[in-house]
Chains A and B, each alone.
Chain A
Amino acid sequence: MPIRVASFFQNLLRKRAAEQALDDELQSAVELLTQEKMKEGLSHQEARRQALIELGGVEQVKEQVRDSRTGAFLDSLLQDLRFALRQMQRSPGFVLTAVLILALGIAANVIVFGVLQALVLRSLDLPHAEQVMTLQPKDAGPFVSNPEVRDVRDGNSVFSAVAVYEFQGFGLEANGVTRPVWGAEVSGQYFEVVGIKPVLGRLLERADNDHPGASEAAVISWSAWQSDFGADPNIVGTTVRIDKHPYTIVGVAPEGFRGTEKIPQLDIFVPIANEASLDGFSWLESRSYRNLFSIVRIKDGVTTPEAQAELNAIATRIAMQHPKDEEGLALKLARPGMIGDFVGGPVRAFLAGVMGLAGIVLLAACANLGSLFAARTADRAKEIAIRMALGSGRWRILRQLLVEASVISILGGALACGLAWMALTGLASWHPPTQYPLRLSFVLPQPSLILVGLLISVAAGVVFGLMPLRQIFKTDPNDTIKSGGGPFAAGRRWALRDVLLAAQIALCCVTVTAAFVSLRGLGRAMTMDLGFNPKNVLLTQFDLSQAAYSGEAADHFQRQLLDKLSQIPGVDAAGYASTTPLSGETFVSAVFSQQSSDFRPSNKAFYAYNYDISPGYLTAAGTSLLAGRDVSFADTAKTPPVAIVNQEFARRLFHSEHAVGRYFKDRDGMSIQIVGIVADGKQFTLAEDPKAAAFFPISQKASTSTTVVVRTRRDTADMVAALRGVILDLDRGVPIRELGPWNTALALSFFPSQAATVALGVFGAFGLLLSITGTFGLACYTVGKRRRELSIRVALGAQTKQILSAALGRMLILLASGSAVGILLGVAASRILSAIVYQASAQDPFVLAAVVFTLLLTGSMSVAGPVRRVLYLDPANLLREQ
């Protein structure tokens, strides 16, 4: 073995000497053979010829000996690499185009994969994260109620810990300043599920949640400790005020732990047992008030199906014990981190769709490069034939081309990794347009992404590098050298690159169609009727429970505030509500017909969104009252309950919009009279179908959660300052969560379709770019190859039309058929967009027209150059040249 290793290096390092020795040896063999033949009576010349024939060619034997040497592979690979680099130096334009196209294609894939990995593939950063799951109702939203989860906790044998938590904005008062912070109220086993160790002090324990007021303990995040408390090492034991209640900081969570959801970043954790004092009213014992997320840890050795089976049994039991609230309860285990399947599902579907598009773009890029490579190989037919004639094997030539492709693809991959790295880092530090503590910091690129990028680029290199395979194996050196042009000059037959072009155009069409569909959807979303008019409206959001108001005190505060606001000059209308449509904090309740006497959920008429509003809110929000009256402060707890409903509500309950004066019942069996009808609007998402909504007088059921709506023509900044002044004048302790134009607050609602449009727009533009370069490249190549033939045709008197159809007719057929197939595919693919983009449909004539127009435009742009060349062909020139 040592000899082999030695000769490996010897071969590499002392190649020249070895080459000389080999040459000597073969020359001497030729001489020996010649002498032998001469002894048989041949002339020296004839003997030498015979000797060479018997040997089989000195160069050929040498090549075979070289191949058999240890390290020969690496050695010739280095040769190939050097040759490839020389070739690339000769055509920098080609290399630059190829590298750029590939870099963009690979970068798109790496970026999308990075996001996919962060959002979907990677589990939460917790010990044994694979055992951590979330429980959620099977066919409803993500929320569960506390008694449901408590029953699961106490009645199971498959979970080692079961907990609930609720996101909550708190007013945190420390060092004399009150700030709004986001945190969670968590139940006793929360940190057992999570399984982390505190950096300082302790985490919340079961005893903290023993009964309401059991402890006033709070755990803060590492980053809150760093930024708000200056990393004070004596933080444990410090008293702060949360919503005016004194709490003691008992511990600091480890760095990186910001709760068990990926996007919201939480800073403080308090016992959920204290929710009554924090929220102003108690819901812990309510089965129907579902506002909690749950999180569980499956015991060691228990499989997910086993856990699910037991969960099913428990849910059935709960449903039987509490038929009124829990009828038909079914709980399922879902992966935590993205609010279970509720957000995770659509996000997964969308990302999978985008990943598919990215794959298509990369395929198109490969097809593009493949046809460029095939064309180049055709141009190099003579070189290849000569190399074969000199004893180079077909595999060796193929390898040479593969090395060239790999060099380009690895350059492209490296560039792509750089691009992806920048994009993901940018994305990670970006703050989504919302007041919520949403960050995308977890998409920070991981080193493993480089590996992914490298794999993709090598695969891509092999894919397009292998495209000229057939050409090489068909090459007959004799014919090629004789004919000069080579057997694969553009002829009558359909070449591989023609098919590639059509395929590539079809793929590009898919991305273009998707881009137009989402653009159209976004355009619709921007101009659609929301049911309110956010223009010229300022929103102010706060929760009075965070300043220790409740019930009547809150009501009093709100009315005082409304009085003062109405007196600010420039305020056209003002009102307030418990929450506003599209705020993400809307909730639904069951509606029953007046005849109902059975208030189980299955007997409901439908669910309706609930809003508690003050007089003037509808005017301020710009929601048109179609019939009846506005709510009034004369509607109080002592007067009969009333409500204003939207058209959809009336239609669904009465099959007519004439509902004023009629009644419905809520889940407590209370009869409520309808006193007004308002126009339909969006409630939860922009993409939703019309939903029923009911607006109740806030004076009949007080709410501490407050959104003040002010319609004004005055300058935004002035008005914001005035509003803040008025609120703080009334009470400095009110932590204002958000204050600004309604349109800004709605940004999050528009975000999914905007994000989709940007992503798909980029892919669409890239797809177009690819189809332009592909078409242009092939058209130029075809015209160039056939210049001579075309010139002769011109000389023989062919008409312009005939020349054009001869030169580019096939290109046009390719373009048309590729586009047609692509549009069909695009229409099919756009279906998946409808979950995200408002009214996304590719059957829209506008979309189809736009796609066809764009393709015609780019198609004609990319063949314009070659067409010009054909039209200005001067046969005399060419015939002189040759």
Chain B
Amino acid sequence: MSKSKKRTDLLRGTLDLLILKALALEPLHGVGVSRRITQITRDAFRVSFGSLFPSLHRMEEKGWVEAEWRASENNRRAKYYRLTASGRAQLTAEERDWGQVVKIMTAAVESA
């Protein structure tokens, strides 16, 4: 319990960026987003659905993603999320911010 909780906390700041990144390539449904994040982080992060779905809905409200219902790969109806133009802009901005953070943190950690 406490271990997984810790992992979610770690993810909290970066979850939006990861979701945007996951959706950058192609539209995905919720489960797909989760699997894609696991894949692109090389199995380091497992996003809990309790965090993922609220984030997706928030992004939809903000207009970063839009959703449509269509058939899934094995012919089930699923809600697919796709990045909008403002979502792409957001992704670029967040990537840039993240780069800054990494640079600053790396410098800070390697100093002394």
- Residues of A with Cβ closer than 8 Å to B? 3-4, 7, 21-22, 24-26, 28-29, 31-33, 35-36, 54-56, 60-61, 64-65, 67-70
**Among A21, A32, A35, A68, which residue has its beta carbon within 8 angstroms of that of B29?**
A32
Q: Find chain B residues with CB under 8 A from A3 CB.
A: 61-63
| A29 close to B49 (CB less than 8 A) | yes
The 7 closest A-B pairs by CB, nearest first: A68-B54, A32-B31, A7-B61, A3-B63, A25-B79, A28-B78, A55-B49
Tell me the nearest residue of chain A to B31, going by C-beta.
A32
Q: Find chain B residues with CB under 8 A from A32 CB.
A: 29, 31, 72, 76, 78
| A64 close to B54 (CB less than 8 A) | yes
Tell me the nearest residue of chain B to A67, going by C-beta.
B54
A/B interface sample: 14 pairs, CB < 8 A: A3-B61, A3-B62, A24-B77, A25-B30, A25-B78, A28-B76, A29-B78, A32-B72, A32-B78, A35-B74, A56-B48, A65-B53, A65-B57, A68-B54
| A28 close to B29 (CB less than 8 A) | yes
Q: Find chain A residues with CB under 8 A from B76 CB.
A: 28, 31-32, 35
Q: A25-B53, A26-B53 are in contact. List 5 more A-B contacts (CB 8 A).
A: A3-B63, A4-B62, A28-B72, A61-B53, A67-B54
Tell me the nearest residue of chain A to B57, going by C-beta.
A65
| A29 close to B29 (CB less than 8 A) | yes
Tell me the nearest residue of chain B to A58, going by C-beta.
B49
B58 at the interface (CB under 8 A from A): yes
| B72 close to A61 (CB less than 8 A) | no
CA distance A33 to B31 in the complex (A): 7
Q: Find chain B residues with CB under 8 A from A26 CB.
A: 53
Tell me the nearest residue of chain A to B64, going by C-beta.
A3
CA distance A4 to B74 in the complex (A): 34
Tell me the nearest residue of chain A to B72, going by C-beta.
A32
Tell me the nearest residue of chain B to A62, going by C-beta.
B53
CA distance A70 to B30 in the complex (A): 20
CA distance A7 to B76 in the complex (A): 28
Q: How big is the B interface, by class?
A: 20 to 34
The proximity string for B residues 44-62 relative to A, scoring 1 for CB distances below 8 Å and 0 otherwise, is: 0000111101110110011
- A70 to chain B minimum Cβ distance, whole angstroms, is 6
CA distance A25 to B28 in the complex (A): 13
CA distance A601 to B70 in the complex (A): 105
- Residues of B with Cβ closer than 8 Å to A? 29-31, 48-51, 53-55, 57-58, 61-63, 69, 72, 74, 76-79
CA distance A4 to B57 in the complex (A): 12
| B50 close to A56 (CB less than 8 A) | yes
| B57 close to A69 (CB less than 8 A) | yes
- A767 to chain B minimum Cβ distance, whole angstroms, is 49
CA distance A517 to B29 in the complex (A): 77
Q: Find chain B residues with CB under 8 A from A60 CB.
A: 50
| B57 close to A68 (CB less than 8 A) | yes
Q: Find chain B residues with CB under 8 A from A31 CB.
A: 76
- A546 to chain B minimum Cβ distance, whole angstroms, is 82
- A476 to chain B minimum Cβ distance, whole angstroms, is 14
CA distance A769 to B49 in the complex (A): 54
CA distance A35 to B74 in the complex (A): 9
Specify which of B30, B57, B62, B69 lies most central, judged by the most chain A CB atoms within 10 Å of its CB. Answer: B57
| A69 close to B61 (CB less than 8 A) | yes
CA distance A28 to B29 in the complex (A): 9
| B74 close to A70 (CB less than 8 A) | no
Tell me the nearest residue of chain A to B35, going by C-beta.
A36
- A258 to chain B minimum Cβ distance, whole angstroms, is 62
| A65 close to B54 (CB less than 8 A) | yes
Tell me the nearest residue of chain A to B52, going by C-beta.
A61
Q: Find chain B residues with CB under 8 A from A21 CB.
A: 79
| B54 close to A29 (CB less than 8 A) | no
Q: Find chain B residues with CB under 8 A from A56 CB.
A: 48-50
CA distance A182 to B63 in the complex (A): 75
CA distance A558 to B60 in the complex (A): 98
- B81 to chain A minimum Cβ distance, whole angstroms, is 10
- A514 to chain B minimum Cβ distance, whole angstroms, is 55
CA distance A485 to B46 in the complex (A): 40
CA distance A21 to B69 in the complex (A): 10
CA distance A22 to B53 in the complex (A): 9
CA distance A98 to B64 in the complex (A): 49
